[in-house]
Structure 1
């Protein structure tokens, strides 16, 4: 808050003072008051006016600077009205009262929306667990009655099961870390868990798998990491070319373990590459494959952020795609509170 801005805001008050001072000077001059007394009287008026303006400016500047400082330091801005002190000047008190009312209304609406979101997530969690039972039962029936038709139905049920899993992780994406179970394992075990889920589509695509350096020890949540790798495998299958190949290559660097997942698919255009982790983004490949949702990689990125992991994608159109996962060491996980 600058003094020049303060005076500019009070331009009407300044104009009234100047007009009044000029009229008083003229009146005293007409009644032949000595000029020394006129200057002395005008000086008293000017001094009183300036003192009142400076005092008012200083107390308001102090309060509003304090208000801005608190606002910048506060993470949850909705608590601002609960923390700040009530000012001593009238317009500040009016502003403070309005702020308190709006803050209460906003906090009530946020609490209502949060409750609705919790109810929605609870419903989805229940639905996911309930829907898995008939899917498992149907696949068991198919297992005991194998023929060409039931095998095709099994393929569709597997797709439904994968979509249900996607829904579950999406519903829990805001607080999925509550379900984490970090334990010592190997990159190979995580990859094998993901491959087990997608074994049939890989076989149907006549895929060739290669693993190298995946015996490395890591501390991770197997379930979540397997889901991430599963989404990468699913994309590799979806955007494959003939002679589908998928390579898993692990290596160790300082403070992290790296897993590269390479395919020889159709690749991603350079213009789409920076946005592949955006929610709902499907890009050029998504227009060629209408079943793309743009949710899988978004969830992969979100899960990696929650687990203190990094994920990156490099690709060249027509030359395949490489997805790189960076697993932190045990010390970094403890430091992040995971």
Structure 2
């Protein structure tokens, strides 16, 4: 709070004081009071008023500056009202009371929202586990009675199963790390698991996987990594050209291991590339393929960040796309205390 701002706020009080001083001077002059006495009275009046003004300014400036400093330094700003000391002036006391009431209301609303969100996620988890049962049963019935119609139904059920799995990860995306199980595995195991899930659509698309030196040990959550690799394979199938080929290769450095997943599909335009991880973004390819949702890569990026995996995409339009997953090595994780 600056002095100029304070005085501007007190302009009416200053005018009243000035008018009072002039009226007092006029009154004393009319009753023929000696000039020395008039000067003495005016000095006392002005000194008392200015002293009160200066005292009020400094105590309020000190308190409000402290308030602003605390506001800037706090991460949980909704707790500001609870940490403030009670000031010795009425305006500050009213302000603190309002802040505390607002903070209590805000915290109650946040608590209610968190509870509703938690109940919603629990319901989604329950629903997903329930819906998987009839899907599995239907696929078993198809296995016992295969014909062109049931096989087409099986393809649709597989798509439903994939979307259900995506919904599960989306519902858990806020605290998915609670479900992580970090363990030793290999890139080959992760890629094989993802290819197994998408083997049928890959075969139907006439695709061919190429695996190069994937028997490299890593430490990661197998389930989540398999989901991410599966989303990348799914996109390669969706945005393919003729003679689809998906190549898996690796590179080992001191502190990380990189998995490169490259396809020879239609690629991604330079304008869309920076936004491929945005929620719901489908871009130019999404307008050409109506089944795009823009959720797969968004979820993949969110999962990878929680697993300390760097996920990035590079592409040449018309030539294909390469998705890179950079895993931290076990030794690096131990040095970092992870």
TM-score by length of 1: 0.95
Q: Which residue of 2 aligns with 1:269?
A: 269
Provide the residue aligned with 1:142 in structure 2.
Answer: 142
- Which stretches in structure 2 are left out of the alignment for 5+ residues? none
Q: 1:275 to 1:335 in 2, by over 3 A?
A: farther
CA change 1:66–1:334 in 2 (3 A) is farther
1:320 — aligned with what? Answer: 320
* Mean CA deviation greater in 133-142 or 123-132: 133-142
Q: Deviations over 1:181-232 (max 9, x none)?
A: 0011111111111111001111111112112232222110000011011101
Deviation at 1:173?
0.4
- In structure 2, the partner of 1:48 is 48
Q: Work out whether residues 213 and 251 of structure 1, in 8 Å CA contact, stay in contact via their aligned partners in 2.
A: no
Q: CA 1:301 to 1:336, structure 2 compared with 1: closer, same or farther past 3 Å?
A: farther
- The aligned residue for residue 216 of structure 2 is 216
Measured in 2, the distance between the counterparts of 1:40 and 1:217 equals 92
How many angstroms apart in 1 are the aligned matches of 2:131 and 2:56? 67
State the alpha-carbon separation in 1 of the partners of residues 248 and 36 from structure 2: 97
Match of 2:193 in 1: 193
State the distance in 2 between where 1:31 and 1:294 align. Answer: 89
Quickly say closer, same or farther: Cα 1:177–1:333, change in 2 above 3 A: farther
d(CA) in 1 for partners of 2:268, 2:278 = 14
Shift of 1:25: 2.4
Structure 1 position 329 matched with structure 2 position 322? no
Q: Aligned partners of 2:169, 2:331: CA distance in 1, in Å?
A: 27
Listed as ranges, the matches of 1:52-63 within 5 Å are: 52-63=52-63
Matched, 1:65 2:65: yes
Give the conservation status (yes or no) of the 8 Å contact 1:308–1:336.
Answer: no
Q: Look up the SS of the partner of 2:322 in the other structure.
A: strand
Matched with 1:111 is: 111
Q: Deviation string for 1:97-145 (max 9, x for gaps)?
A: 1111111111111111111111110000001111111111111121222
CA-CA distance at 1:36 after TM superposition: 3.3
Partner of 1:89: 89
How many angstroms does 1:334 deviate by? 5.2
Structure 1 residues 233 and 127, CA, compared in 2 at 3 Å: closer, same or farther?
same
Q: Which whole-Å CA distance do the structure 2 matches of 1:268 and 1:50 have between them? A: 71
Structure 1 residue 275: deviation in Å? Answer: 1.1
Residue 22 of structure 1: CA displacement? 2.1
TM-score (norm 2): 0.95
Secondary structure of the 1:142 match is: helix
Unpaired runs of 5+ residues, structure 1, are none
Inter-partner Cα distance in structure 2 for 1:32 and 1:112: 74
Q: Closer, same or farther in 2 for the Cα pair 1:236/1:14, shift >3 Å? A: same
CA distance in 2, matches of 1:18, 1:314: 73
**Greater shift in the superposed pair: 294-303 or 140-149:** 140-149
Residues 150-192 of structure 1, C-alpha deviation per residue, up to 9 Å, x if partnerless?
1111111110000000000000000000000001111111111
Shift of the 32–261 alpha-carbon distance from structure 1 to 2, 3 Å rule, reads: same
1-structure distance, mates of 2:126, 2:135: 15
Q: Tell me by how many angstroms 1:337 deviates.
A: 6.8
Work out the number of aligned pairs and report it. Answer: 338
1:79 Cα deviation after fit = 1.6
The aligned residue for residue 100 of structure 1 is 100
* Residue 283 (structure 2) pairs with residue 283 (structure 1): yes
Query: How large is the RMSD of aligned CA atoms in angstroms?
Result: 1.6
Q: Partner of 1:16 in structure 2?
A: 16
Shift of 1:27: 2.6
Instruction: Give the superposition deviation at 1:332.
Output: 4.7
Alpha-carbon distance between aligned partners in 1 of 2:54 and 2:106, rounded to the nearest angstrom:
36
Going from structure 1 to structure 2, the CA distance change for 1:332 and 1:176 (only over 3 Å counts) comes to farther
* Distance across 2 between alignment mates of 1:29 and 1:336: 84
